[in-house]
Structure 1
């Protein structure tokens, strides 16, 4: 049986007449700089009302089945995510621990004594005596000033921040995997380009050797052609080092050893998707890091109330009762019973050398720091969106120009090679044309990879389909409680199952 326990549910009815106000400020979301529109979104297709949000499985917009397969594994297998999930559960139990302070603490005691009174004492029964006792007691501190409730509020905010941080880590890990994947695919495209280039250089070398054999080309041309061919082969081999590192990184992101993952080379056919960009104000609700920062502000704000409540007096109530007898036969009889109300005590610190004031000012300063951190996180979020909007816009323009450069360079190679065959130009002209063509082709492949990388980063900057509605509510932040959670011993020691 699952029991939902919140600070409103666990407060016993007896506390109602004794519970006082909650001192300290109530949380209000800090104001942050928000613009009406993104500066770099000029000319960007605005999102329609029906598609202002990215899908939660945002990676599917790239239409790459292998990428889908890999990214799907991150949330369940990545060890950093598993660590963050455990930290979130730890934060939930801190909420439960603070909620428990609203309840009285009950104890059960038993005692056995065997003693002899000192000589000379006037006692009814001289000699050695036995004394048996069995009793129960309860102690409770009413939350008069809201100190405990503010602590519950602070721990709840921290738990919500931990949940947002978990979502943020999942998004970051997924985005990193997508970036590595597209970079790996870019290297595959460059490797294919080098393979074609090596084949072309080999053919050119064969032509040069034939020309040398008939005496129309010098030995220098053959040597230069061989050097050019081997250089291209070396560059192709070097790409394998970078590819291996990326493949290993992808394996670790999905919780596997590098030996467990092999990604065959495949052409880079993915096209940058259309990414909906909504209003800047909506970014505050769609980035997990902004939500985490805001929840940290809420937790710090509640701690001001905790520090402020320390100025006020505390009240402790106690009740006890049981049985006491000189022998076990009469222990559990009405004649041997006893009870007591109290002691009830109140305490007020009148001098502490400024400790409470220092702690109160420290809480205020900590809150101010989290507010500044929240605002900086918002600014960073806007910067990341603007950066990648600009990158996509500029890269698109650059790709169009670069494609023209590639076409021109390929035409230059064809023309120069024909001129070389006709003997009107030297082999140096061929080498120059081929080098320029290869450089332009490499640049074109790199730009496409950069465009896909910027698309992934823009998706990440926009929150990756996340929304703060996915955060646990205040009633959910403490997790589920089983009836066995209220037992005084751990469940595994008692042999109970929580299922």
Structure 2
């Protein structure tokens, strides 16, 4: 009978199937295969390339590569996520072994007892004193006939998989934060340089204005405008300097260092190169690459397995137990054949009436599955929105940078012309200084646009899943993906 139960066991509850995108409706806006038209400044989307394991190296900056590696090695958030992953894996292994393998325990007891015959209703009240030695091996094995234990193990493995993807998400976010922080530092330094050039030109222009006012050529009211412009530029410089210091402190924090330990290299826009070849955004690949989507899927899987555990709780629970050992009045007699004892038993527990608790638990588990499915769909929708936003941002960034460079070229040509005219006596020195002011402002606009485009490129890599390293996640996650697939999302291609 027991053999029939073991061989005929089943697994109750629904089997989880990895969701897929069905065909029919586009989920991402159409994008051009190229962003930006200037030679050496265009970005191309490469078909068939869905990710890059070391995408930050495409910026061509060795110092940035070194900082990313230091951050991955020393960042406390990534370290905590890794420790949580290990904890989840070890807990899953411990519970899995406890549920699927027999438990064997050795026991030894030595007792000395005195009892009276009056306890057995015998008159006279005689007492006896004796010693008892007991050594035994206990074996217990739960028969998982209806798959409750298997579902519990499945839920634990799904939780471990979710932690693996959360660890991966922490890594990707950290890498993108380091890259964007370095880009912001380089952009701020370029803006500071342009602001200093602007301040120099505005200061000289103000000095000339004061001289002209002292000679009576200008009124006091005409002095107000250059003074206000100079004061505004000085205030802007202080803001930029503050932001630069804060960026340096933030970068140190990403590396797991204190601000006082800050011995980081300085970064300039000339050190960073715009990645020219970007991976193509493929919707079906996003489902397998983005760690937040994979973590949400694992959470859905866990909820589905927990539903199976709840359903199995309403079925009979069978357990096999066995004991074998020896019992004697002295330890030396434990090994004699006459002292051997053993027992073999089987037990079954069938829930009959629990006041509606089992039905309520099942309805709650079903609601948890529905909630996890809805959260997964929301995660996917938000992921596609992020990718669409970044794709549009890259297009606008290229156009903005092109416009700012056109302005800078025009201002540079005006400055060159003004310089020639001043040498020939065609214009006054204040007019030349005014051309320098406009040129410095144009350089500041280009620095801002370059920083935004470099940062949005990093955001694009992060939106696609960042450092695509399937081997790392597979090594940390023992759960194999389901071979089945169900359409849990709107039709897409």
Q: TM-score range by the shorter chain?
A: 0.7 to 0.9
Structure 2: stretches of 5+ with no match in the other structure: 35-43, 481-493
Match of 1:25 among 14, 17, 20: 14
Deviation at 1:201, TM superposition (A): 2.4
Q: How far apart in 1 are the matches of 2:327 and 2:478?
A: 46
Per the alignment, residue 443 of structure 1 pairs with 445
Deviation at 1:69, TM superposition (A): 1.3
Deviation at 1:188, TM superposition (A): 0.4
3-state SS of the aligned residue for 2:132?
strand
* 1:295–1:192 CA distance, 2 compared to 1 (3 A): same
Aligned positions of 1:304-323 closer than 5 A: 304-323=307-326
Q: How far apart in 2 are the matches of 1:126 and 1:224?
A: 115
Residue 117, structure 1, aligned to residue 122, structure 2:
no
Residue 106, structure 1, aligned to residue 108, structure 2:
no
Aligned positions of 1:52-451 closer than 5 A: 52-100=49-97, 101-119=99-117, 121=122, 127-208=128-209, 211=212, 216=217, 225=226, 228-263=229-264, 265-269=266-270, 270-274=272-276, 275-342=278-345, 344-409=346-411, 438-451=440-453
3-state SS of the aligned residue for 1:353?
coil
Deviation at 1:279, TM superposition (A): 2.3
3-state SS of the aligned residue for 1:140?
strand
Per the alignment, residue 468 of structure 2 pairs with 466
Per the alignment, residue 489 of structure 2 pairs with none
Q: How far apart in 2 are the matches of 1:258 and 1:16?
A: 65
Deviation at 1:264, TM superposition (A): 5.1
Q: How far apart in 2 are the matches of 1:83 and 1:424?
A: 66
3-state SS of the aligned residue for 1:352?
coil
Q: How far apart in 2 are the matches of 1:15 and 1:75?
A: 53
Q: How far apart in 2 are the matches of 1:308 and 1:340?
A: 32
Q: How far apart in 2 are the matches of 1:248 and 1:277?
A: 34
Residue-by-residue CA offset, 1:184-233 (whole Å, 9 max, x unaligned): 11110101101211222233344445555766556666676555445433
Q: How far apart in 2 are the matches of 1:359 and 1:277?
A: 45
Per the alignment, residue 47 of structure 2 pairs with 48
Deviation at 1:447, TM superposition (A): 1.5
Q: How far apart in 2 are the matches of 1:396 and 1:363?
A: 50
State the TM-score, normalizing by the size of structure 1: 0.82
Residue-by-residue CA offset, 1:350-404 (whole Å, 9 max, x unaligned): 1111111221222221111111111211111111111111011012112222222
Per the alignment, residue 38 of structure 1 pairs with 28
* 1:273–1:16 CA distance, 2 compared to 1 (3 A): farther
Deviation at 1:415, TM superposition (A): 7.5
* 1:241–1:475 CA distance, 2 compared to 1 (3 A): closer
Deviation at 1:266, TM superposition (A): 4.4
State the TM-score, normalizing by the size of structure 2: 0.83
> RCO greater where, 1 or 2, for CA within 8 Å and sep 6 or more?
2
Number of equivalent positions:
462
* 1:95–1:387 CA distance, 2 compared to 1 (3 A): same
Q: How far apart in 2 are the matches of 1:122 and 1:431?
A: 125
1:209–1:222 CA contact under 8 A, matched in 2: yes
Q: How far apart in 1 are the matches of 2:5 and 2:459?
A: 52
* 1:473–1:179 CA distance, 2 compared to 1 (3 A): closer
1:416–1:425 CA contact under 8 A, matched in 2: no
Root-mean-square deviation (Å): 3.4
1:153–1:299 CA contact under 8 A, matched in 2: yes
